[in-house]
Structure 1
Amino acid sequence: MAKKKIGWYWVWVTTSLLFRLFLIYFPKDLNFTSRPEVSTPLTSLRRLAEGYWLKQSSLSPYAGSMYHASPLLLSILGPLTVIRLEGQPSHLFCSLLFVVADFFTAVLIRATGQKLQDAYSILPAGDVASLIYLWNPLTIVSCVGLSTSPVENLMVVLTLYGACSGLAPLAAFGWVTASHLSLYPSVLLIPVILLLGYGPDAPSRKLFLQKGSRTNGNKPPLAGRSFSWRPVIYFLLWAAIWAVYVLFLCSISLKQYGGLSEMFKRTHGFILTVEDLSPNIGVLWYFFAEVFEFFREFFLIVFHVNILFMILPLAIRLNHRPCFLAFVYIAISSMLKSYPSVGDPALYLALLGWFVTELAGYGECKLLLCDGNWLCLFADNSGG
């Protein structure tokens, strides 16, 4: 039975990938590339192609107001925007790369969900979450619409997978790369530290406050859950190494075009100052198009600090659920970021599948004391 379920899972995965490949051949008819819901100033492949053309013409890729993403992304995807086969559009290779990125993102979501399932779940959370990601219309539109969101989502999920697996170098690489590409994933530092220090999510402490915990001086399982600093320090060390390496590559790429200062001004500075007021699915573009220039800097601070104000209270309340904390951070930043696209909600809607056990009503937990050992039993709402 288990092998049959696994076989059906890969059938659904393969079908979702083939469906993407089918839609790729109709980009002009679908016209997703020019939709503001799909392509933003930070994720548009057209802008990336423009930046690559400027660089090939010995000009700064940040000249004008077109390109505002990472120079490393420009070096990787730029050459793919000009390769053209006989009878095939030039964007074909980029589309195939985005399909591969979606596939690996789904695989990592599944693997991470399986680790959470070992900790507290009953339903196949990894399978559910990965299929939600692959078959979500928002994910498919982002892939077919030539948005770079699949690459950013891959780095975010790679961070969480590395942290859940205790792989500090991998988590550090994903976190540094995701923060470099989009800035907002930097808030995931706290969930990653909690994951490395405590391990995967555990049930809420309130579920263990039973009268039986006072008998015979025994303590519930979470009472002995200690924080380990060694993997955290290891992660911070690798994060510093990867950050230096990324900045070194960026400095080489922009050596003749203003260096790192120009990069930070045109990428992260562009995100924080909200210079481009083109319509998107967020609210900042409309608000700053209407606000008086005298109050612009004040409201910029208010909007950006609004995300930071939520970090500490949520971390205190959900420190025993670092993966759920990461999901909340991703959802909040996706809704409040400067230039959101449909690829942002596609990610956190998929990560919601990790907690399918709670959504299905398997949240009730009972503690039993058996031969001096604590057993935690989950029961559904029907009393099973």
Structure 2
Amino acid sequence: MKNKKLLALLVLGGTMRYILMSSKYSSAISGRVEISTPLNSHKRVQEGVHLYKNQIDPYLGDMVHETPLILISLAWAYSTIPQLVPWIYIMIDLAAAFILFKMSKEFIHQMFSKQSKEKGEYADETDELHLKYHDTIDIPKFVFIAYLLNPFSILNCVALSSTVFSNFFLASSFYFMAKQNLWPCIAFLSLETLRSLYPVVFIAPVLLVFGKSCKKDYARVAGSFILTCFAFCYISYSIMGSWTFINGTLGFVFFCRELQPNIGLFWYFFMEMFDHFRTLFLITFQINATILYLIPLTFKLHKDPLMLTTILISLTSIFRSYPCLGDIAFYLAFLPLWRRCWKFMAHNFVVFCFFLITLLIMPALWHLWMYAGSANANFYFGATLAFSTGQIFLVTDLLFAYVKREFCLKYGQKVFIDGKEAKIILE
């Protein structure tokens, strides 16, 4: 993509965000439960800034869940340049989009180089499944646009959601992973892990990228990640003067103490759960969101860390305790990377219908539940459950499409048994 076009798109994305922030709809957007959660709400960040300025520990109650490093940075911004705070969010979101562009460009060039080396092993008549040179130009552009102009990411930024910081940290970590620059990759991943817990699973693709030589490399990378996490924890302790922030951030995410409705699955189950079953199901849900899929997927996709990263981003966005549309926007931006797998994706229309219908009826059902009093939690949860189901369809469809493409590259798109063409079915 030419620099002028790139700049024009950045200006367009920034302008759209600023216009909506300045409109009368900004407060309504920031109040939507699909966008703002207890973990990323800007109102809670403002409360934390106020408490910090008055020398009160923001983490003593159960209101503030932002990390100390981000909290003091925003406290400084509100004290010195309060009128520019919205622009800080806009610039960070635009930076995330640009970093995703650079990351995808690096990964696609690596994939293209790998394909050139392996091309002699591919079956005949599989040319349409190969990456083309123009893909190295087009795919990064599609990734860039898929995040920058995605309505989910725009609304996320307009609400001044701190998920903007999460997307920036993860995009930076994956960019440095693509560049094979260990310490910046580990640093950004540690920052986001201490903020929302679930990115700890991304240590798997990091290990696959940086630990290729021997077992000592795996230990070095894992040890670096752990030490960096402890270092940031100690810095946070030095800032706050206590360790209460750990319970207010990671503890809040893990124990899911606040059951405000959102687009996830946790809130309804634990709202209806008897207290003596809570611990069992809490551990079950958190295992499902972290390590349940991590080990089998890592073994299956150990040759392709990028696909592993894409699937893990998607699963953690779906199954985390406090998901929002900003999380969804981030993993949707990775879909253009797998453009050559789209041919095998069979549920595009079903997924589109799931997304469209559920996102349209969520606000209506929320109004009927909270304001009209003619519905209840079951109605809204039904919509969020259908939305999550649509996302699961999307993730499994992408994974199956990837496996089918790899099979066809090796054995061809047509398989013959006893002289007759066989139908390939992946179960």
Query: How high is the TM-score relative to the length of structure 2?
Result: 0.71
SS at match of 1:267: helix
Distance 1:29 1:105, change over 3 A: closer
Does 2:189 match 1:175?
A: yes
Structure 1 residue 306 displacement after superposition: 1.4
* Cα distance in 2 for residues equivalent to 1:336 and 1:44: 19
Q: CA offsets, 1:47-75, max 9 Å, x none?
A: 01111211222211013321012111110
* Cα distance in 2 for residues equivalent to 1:359 and 1:95: 37
Which of 293, 297, 302 is matched with 1:310 structurally? Answer: 293
Which of 220, 245, 248 is matched with 2:231 structurally? Answer: 245
Identity of aligned residues (%): 26
2:264 aligned partner, one-letter code:
G
Match runs of 1:1-384 below 5 Å: 3=2, 7-26=4-23, 28=25, 31-81=28-78, 90=82, 92-118=83-109, 119-120=111-112, 121-122=131-132, 123=135, 124-198=138-212, 227=213, 232=218, 235-236=221-222, 238-255=224-241, 259-260=242-243, 262-307=244-289, 308-359=291-342, 363=405, 365=409
Deviates more, 1:183-192 or 1:238-247: 238-247
Structure 1 residue 359 displacement after superposition: 2.0
2:97 aligned partner, one-letter code:
A
Distance 1:41 1:229, change over 3 A: same
Structure 1 residue 244 displacement after superposition: 3.4
Contact 2:53 2:75 in 1 (8 A): no
SS at match of 2:233: helix
* Cα distance in 2 for residues equivalent to 1:329 and 1:359: 19
Contact 2:49 2:75 in 1 (8 A): yes
Q: CA offsets, 1:306-327, max 9 Å, x none?
A: 1311110000111111111011
2:186 aligned partner, one-letter code:
A
SS at match of 2:34: coil
2:207 aligned partner, one-letter code:
I
Structure 1 residue 234 displacement after superposition: 5.5
Distance 1:264 1:109, change over 3 A: same
Cα RMSD of the aligned pairs, angstroms, is 2.3
* Cα distance in 1 for residues equivalent to 2:343 and 2:79: 48
Query: How high is the TM-score relative to the length of structure 1?
Result: 0.79
Distance 1:8 1:52, change over 3 A: closer
Counting helix residues as a fraction of each chain, which structure ranks higher? 2
SS at match of 2:334: helix
2:34 aligned partner, one-letter code:
E
* Cα distance in 1 for residues equivalent to 2:43 and 2:281: 30
1:355 aligned partner, one-letter code:
W
* Cα distance in 1 for residues equivalent to 2:22 and 2:294: 43
Structure 1 residue 95 displacement after superposition: 1.8
Contact 2:40 2:162 in 1 (8 A): yes
Runs of at least 4 residues off by over 3 Å: 6-10, 27-30, 81-84, 227-238, 360-367
The unaligned stretches of length 5 or more in structure 2 are 113-130, 345-401, 412-427
* Cα distance in 1 for residues equivalent to 2:167 and 2:204: 18
Distance 1:29 1:115, change over 3 A: closer
Q: Which residue of 2 aligns with 1:216?
A: none
1:295 aligned partner, one-letter code:
F
1:108 aligned partner, one-letter code:
I
Contact 1:27 1:145 in 2 (8 A): no
1:323 aligned partner, one-letter code:
L
* Cα distance in 1 for residues equivalent to 2:160 and 2:69: 18
1:313 aligned partner, one-letter code:
P
Structure 1 residue 39 displacement after superposition: 1.2
